[in-house]
Structure 1
Amino acid sequence: MAIVWVTCDYCKMEFERPYGRYNEAKKFGWKQFCSTECQSQSKTKKISKNCDNPLCNKRIFSSVSSGHTYCSRNCSATLSNSLRAEPFALVKCANKDCNNFLKNHESKYCSTECVNKSKKGLSSYTKEGLMQIIQKFQLDNGRIPTKAELGHLNRPARNNFGTWNNLIKIAGLTPNEVIFSKKYIANDGHRCDSLSEKIVDDWLFARNIKHQVHIKYPWHNGMSADF
């Protein structure tokens, strides 16, 4: 078999090829390559260049582009973060009695404990004042208030006593039961599922407003309305 030396159309190196294959390629105008790798590289429009991350400089093949080209997402993110990173200014916790620095600037305080301590000082309610409010409510209404009724006292109560129920206990009263855990009898004899329901029932009864309780819904889904 006759052999002929041919120049690779991609890398320009000479290589041996059977004369018959050489003539066939020349007849049909085919390009001739020394290897499948050269044949593959000739079909791509990518160019060889270095990764645009100066700390990497890895050699890569990339499409012709006016933008930056990186060998990986990690290289791209590393460079982007380093360019836009700003020095983190140290800021102290807004609680004047705390010497800690903030881990981020999204909050003025370093912890929830410092938040509570700081806001506690802003409250105009004293322990004695809070207890007097609860005791007066009990004398006026014959019962202790629910947390919802005096919602504006919830935070001062937590700041001064830890919890709402602690305030009730220290004021010399018994906290309300957990909702729905105790049944109540309204002044008109209706059986109520909660203290809030009893309050509404007593209000209606005191004003001679006729009402019924626990009426089933007409679509028979097993549920009922309070009134």
Structure 2
Amino acid sequence: MNTTAKMTCSLKILVFAAMLSLHFELCFCECSKSSHEEDGDCCPTCDTVQGLKVKISCTQSSNTVCEPLNGHYCTDHFEGNCVHASEYTKCLPGQYIKQRGTQFTDHECADCPKATYSDGSFSTCKPYTNCTALGRKEIKPGTPSSDAECNTPVALIVGIVVGSVLFVAILVAIVVVSIIMCLRVKQKSVQNAAAVPENDQTQWKTESSFSWHVIKVFIQKYINKPDCDDTLKSVEN
């Protein structure tokens, strides 16, 4: 083997050694996709896509400990660490959750018995509404996933309408009476002011102003209306 061939061979060996060393360094210095760097250490990652969250953070002496997300249960675990978790089974309409899932077990569903219903999220099935017992007529029978529907009694509708009308009528009456009271008190105040001697005007005005203020406070307290003076102005105009 000549000198050139030896040099070429030596160069190839050096290049291969350098590449091997670099590859070795990269493998041991970079964290894998399933882990992350924390304080210079590669710590396992609790992947939310796998239904996991961090239970205990990574330290220099221990790895990260994962646990299932809320609404999930662990399907694969190793040495106290959950590796994969799945979402709880959603019970179908007409079923109820017979046994709620835990950290390591899934929901257990069961069919509702006759004359009961559930939308799938109930812990127990609910009985159908008894329209006859309520004095009403059933207009739609219950199903495994929905309650029975009853009609609305005519008397109830009439009662609601009459009650609403009476409420409005009473409110209007209170407003009208309040306005009339304001007008009479103001008119009487003007008449009394003209009849009172001039030397008693100051005392009379003070007492009249106090009485007028008490009436306005009473009206504004029990009726949600503008100030009495504003109401009077709108009526007089």
TM-score normalized with structure 2 length: 0.30
Structure whose residues are more often helix by fraction: 2
Structure whose residues are more often strand by fraction: 2
TM-score normalized with structure 1 length: 0.31
